[in-house]
Amino acid sequence: MRFLLTEEQAAFGRSLEAMLTAADTPSAVRAWAAGNAVPGNALWERLAGAGVFALAVPETYGGMGPLPVELAVACVAVGRHAVPGPVVETVAAAALLAGLAGQGEDGPAKRLLPALSSGGARATLTLPDGGPYALDADTATYLLTVRGDELRLAPGYGALHASADPARRLYRPEAGGELLASGPAVVTAAGYAADWAAFATAAQALGTGLALLDRTVAYVKQRTQFGTAVGGFQAVKHRLADTLIGLEFARPLLFGAALSMTTADVAAAKLTAGEAAYAAARTALQLHGAVGYTEELDLSLWLRKARPLRDAWGTPSHCRSRVLAGPVRDASPGGWRGALGRG
């Protein structure tokens, strides 16, 4: 299996990296956590201009996809730069609507997908028997809920709930709202959307872990003890090497999943990337010493994302069960029940 990106895919990744590096994303993340979405919205427009949200939308509805490899490249960059907002949820909503359209229910797709593809709208959602909270519902244009075999546009949302990551703003959707579709096709499309959500979260987790490692390596090179940089100590080198190996093991699993998009491969990528990112967070926290705990340090923005990303859209234990169950193309209707994390 070939895991190397094409020159076009690699160039796409480099352009996103350059764009986000120049965008001062830490300031946008802090503002987003405080309820000010203006800087985050500017980031969203830049991502939309780069075509990120068109990657999960079929060409029939104004998109360029579905293109899982390119989407993985984009979501790794999103994680590396801690971009706030319901990026994963918008991808999952696009998959949900496209999945419905693939089964003959194309009304919601015709209505909602073009705006999602262009970045003119964003979406968040909850799926059956998953976590009860919709990420960033206060900034989403469409708040979709799937309960039983019904897909609805929720009429609103409740109070903000606390999250381990303040930039992941959680809301419980209100019941009812406009019925968009119902029947077995909704259940099947919801399982398909859960797979895409897990896949995009795996890529975001890998980017988060890489950012934590990069920042930690830079820190141990400049912090000195006994007259030498602490990064020169063998114990520190081993800890960083173990972190790097964990992340690099996750990378081929992610792009392998992009090529197959089977449930088992997506679960393996989600499990490995989530655990590697969480391990990178523990390494970063330890090697930064006491300053690692401080919120003033930008490192905290990534530290607080690692665990929610590990558990969102498929806990580690559930991902293991899906891997053992073997490859299934598209999610089975009840495949993700009870295992979607709160985030």
Angstrom distances, CA of residue 261 to CA of 52, 199, 276, 299? 19, 8, 21, 32
CB 148 within 8 A of CB 128: yes
pLDDT reported for residue 335:
40
| Cβ neighbours of residue 310 closer than 8 Å, sequence gap 6 or more | 205, 274, 275, 277, 278, 316
CB 202 within 8 A of CB 266: yes
* Rounded (10°) CA dihedral 285, 288, 293, 299: -80
Q: What is the pTM of this model?
A: 0.93
Q: What are phi and psi of 192, to 5 degrees?
A: -60, -45
CA atoms of 135 and 44, how far apart (whole Å): 15
CA atoms of 89 and 83, how far apart (whole Å): 13
Neighbour order of strands in the sheet with 134-135: 134-135, 170-173, 157-161
Q: Classify domain 194-325 by CATH architecture.
A: Up-down Bundle (1.20)
Note the pLDDT tens digit of each residue in 160-213: 998 899 999 999 999 999 999 999 999 999 999 999 999 999 999 999 999 999
Low-confidence ranges of the chain (pLDDT < 70): 1-3, 129-130, 327-343
The continuous run of DSSP H or E covering 2 comes out as none
Report the Cα 37 to chain-centroid distance in Å: 18
Using DSSP, state whether 72 is helix, strand or coil.
helix
Angstrom distances, CA of residue 212 to CA of 90, 166, 218, 240, 309? 25, 18, 10, 11, 14
Q: What are phi and psi of 161, to 5 degrees?
A: -110, 145
| Cβ neighbours of residue 16 closer than 8 Å, sequence gap 6 or more | 47, 50, 52, 73, 74, 77
Mode of pairing for the β-strands spanning 134-135 and 170-173: antiparallel
Note the pLDDT tens digit of each residue in 269-301: 999 999 999 999 999 999 998 787 788 899 999
How crowded is the C-beta side of 184, counted as CA atoms within 13 Å? Answer: 2
pLDDT reported for residue 326:
75
Domain ranges of the chain: 194-325
DSSP state of 85: S
